[in-house]
Structure 1
Amino acid sequence: MTIETEDDAVTTAARAVERLRLAEARLARRRQSECGPSENARAAMRLVLERADAHSTVTPTEIAHYLGISAASVTGMLDRLHAGGLIDFVVNPADRRSKFVVPFDRATDPDAIDPVTARIRAFAAELPDGTAGHVAAFLDRVREVVDTECA
């Protein structure tokens, strides 16, 4: 039996965000065991590609800070990305003890690394004129709440 209720716009938006958070949690669990690189590995790859596009560099330590995980976890993750042919390492010319993480094949399509992002980008392109900024601002505020919880 379904209970029909008339929800106001605030309740409708809040419930939609909660459904999104639950779906993200389910996706993260599936990615841990079923479908390729983990969420952290995908985020690391996006960072490496963004830095390369900006003609900048990134170190494993910076990746660890960006992801909020230990250096040891990053080392294992980067080793797997390297073995998969997605990244390479180059010596830092200013400090030969450190290294930079660079994309191995710059022709790698960032959307292929995270096809979910590509589909979301396509949906965003369909938003009515003038609404994308409002949606982004709302979601950024939701993200801030999530990021500060238990911090």
Structure 2
Amino acid sequence: MNPNRGDVTTTDDTTALDAAARSVERLRLSESRLARRRQTDCGPSENARAAMRFVLERTDAGEDVTPTLIAEYLGVSTASVTGMLDRLHSGSMIAFAPNPADRRSKLVVPFDRGADPDDIDPLTAQIRKMVRQLSDSEAKKVSQFLAQVADAVDQECT
């Protein structure tokens, strides 16, 4: 058993519950380390990746995307989004188009319409592959549990 890898051997329900709580904490720490690595070592930041997924999904749904919508979606200032979009534009990941509904605004469009959101964040593709190994009932329980964890995280310090 390697406790750093999340391998768990349990003998009773309390131990299993403790192991689940430790696993969630380990996930949160791993996500935090990943976010720091992505800021310095590994391409676009987590916010930039989330913005790209948002642009691709909304554009594919036939919706217009503006920098303001991206800022609202990410919960950050429009100033931070402007810098991030400039970097994504420099990296040929997005383009800008005039907004026909508002001449003062611009639309954000994917530079490569054939881009797959999983290519922007390969970790998402890997997680989807792991999820396919779960039964429907297991997936439902995991989904419900992680939704509760996400809600708890979102409520922290509000």
Q: Give the structure-1-normalised TM-score.
A: 0.93
Could you tell me the percent identity over the aligned residues? 64
Residue in structure 2 matched with residue 66 of structure 1 by the alignment = 73
2:112 is equivalent to residue 78 of structure 1: no
Q: Return the alpha-carbon distance in structure 2 between the equivalents of residues 83 and 119 of structure 1.
A: 27
Matched-pair contact (CA < 8 Å) for 2:10–2:16: no
| Aligned counterpart for 2:44 among listed residues 7, 25, 37 | 37
Q: Return the alpha-carbon distance in structure 2 between the equivalents of residues 108 and 16 of structure 1.
A: 33
2:122 is equivalent to residue 118 of structure 1: no
Residue in structure 2 matched with residue 139 of structure 1 by the alignment = 146
Residue in structure 1 matched with residue 19 of structure 2 by the alignment = 12
SS at match of 2:96: strand
Residue in structure 1 matched with residue 59 of structure 2 by the alignment = 52
Shift of 1:128: 2.1
Aligned length: 149
SS at match of 1:101: strand
| Aligned counterpart for 1:102 among listed residues 109, 113, 121 | 109
Q: Return the alpha-carbon distance in structure 2 between the equivalents of residues 53 and 136 of structure 1.
A: 25
Deviation digits for residues 35-58 of structure 1, max 9, x if unmatched? 000000000000000101111111
Give unmatched runs, 5+ long, in structure 1.
Answer: none
Runs of 4+ residues deviating >2 angstroms: 4-9
What CA RMSD, in Å, does the superposition of the two structures yield over aligned residues? 1.6
Q: Give the structure-2-normalised TM-score.
A: 0.89
